[in-house]
Structures are given as C-alpha cells and as structure tokens.
Amino acid sequence: MDRRHALRLIAAGALPATLAACGERKPQFTSVDLTGAEYARDFQLPDTEGKVRSLKDFRGKAVVVFFGFTQCPDVCPTTLAEIAQARQLLGPDGQKVQGVFITIDPERDTPEVLRAYVNNFGADFVALRGSPEQTAAVAKDFKVYYKKVETKTPGSYTMDHSAASFVYDPQGRLRLYSRYGSGPQALANDLKQLLQA
C-alpha cells in the first residue's frame, strides 16, 4: 500500500469522527428531562409583599420551583437547603439561579412566616402564597399532589405533598424534574448545563 492511499484511508476514517464531534451534544441531566412538556409552564401568585410574580420576572436566570409548607419537618427544609448549596457549588454562577418556594398551606403560612422561613436559605429566595383556590389551580397545572392531614392533636394538621422541584432554563422554559434527595451536587451539575446552553 502506497503512502498516499494510506493517508486517504486515515482521512476517510477521521472524517466521521470529526463530524460527530461537531454535532450538538445532548445534555446529560441527572434530573428527569421535561423539555417540551405541556404543563407547569408558568405561575401567577403573590409574593410576600403582595406583588404578583411569574416566570418572566426571573428571565435570564435558571429557576428552581418547589411546593411545600413552612411546618414541614424534613422534606421542605432539606430541599431548600439543597437548592442553596447547589447555588454555592456554582460559585459566581449561583447568582444566576433563583429559588422559588410556593406554599401549599396558605392558612398557616402568612407572608411574615414565609418571608422569615425562606430567608434561612438565602436573602433572595422568593416565597409565593396564593389563596386556597389559586394554590389548588397552580398545583393542578404543575401536577403537584397535596392534601391536608389531621393529626391526633385536636385542631392540628400536617400536609402530605409531592416532593420534587421543577427547573426552568434562563429563557423560562420548563426543562427538569428534580427528585427529592438527589443532592446539591447533582442539582448544581444540571443547573450548570442549563446556564451554559
């Protein structure tokens, strides 16, 4: 085999590899990829100051939305802490991530209670509180389950609810469903990909 023929074979073999490298690489998310889903597209709920907020208020940031309640003993504080830790892991890019907490217990979660609660996880976390009817409508649109559960103490109750976060890219599009307990590093890795896209 002459040298020219050998070089042609090498070049022919390298061409597909080069083309594959030029192709768009699909992100490898830890969370469930919901890109293109027909639900959970937006919300319109008042924040703790009474201003109605929606996804467009956070354009340019990746947004992590979680439904919960302030008297939740474990799932809610763990999830909000993981969002805060993921932001820290991102370094300066952490400022491009917005945490949004939507209460499913507007009866007890007053604006004052909510404000104090989310401040534990970051001064710029946003808490939203609708009327019971607004809360039910938004939860239905997000396919979020929640239910009031009476306890043995008279007049006392807790809330059963879905335990996952919805993640939006900086253009405000729903992209990911982050399961409870995935950990801050997994969330940070997913957010990094959304911010770099």
- Annotated binding-site residue numbers: 72, 76, 161
Greatest distance between any 2 Cα atoms in the chain: 92
Alpha-carbon span 27 to 106, nearest angstrom: 37
- Sign of the torsion formed by the C-alpha atoms of 132, 72, 110 and 100: negative
How many residues does the structure list for the chain?
197
Tokens matching residue 174:
């729903």
Binding residues for Cu cation, as ranges, are: 72, 76, 161
Q: Give CA separation, 37 vs 34, 77, 105, 142, 184, in Å.
A: 5, 27, 27, 11, 24
For residue 196, the surrounding DSSP H or E stretch is: helix 184-196
In the chain, the amino acid numbered 59 is R
Beta-carbon contacts of 180 under 8 Å, excluding residues fewer than 6 positions away, are: 75, 78, 79, 163, 164
Please, are residues 171 and 195 in contact by the beta-carbon 8 Å criterion?
no
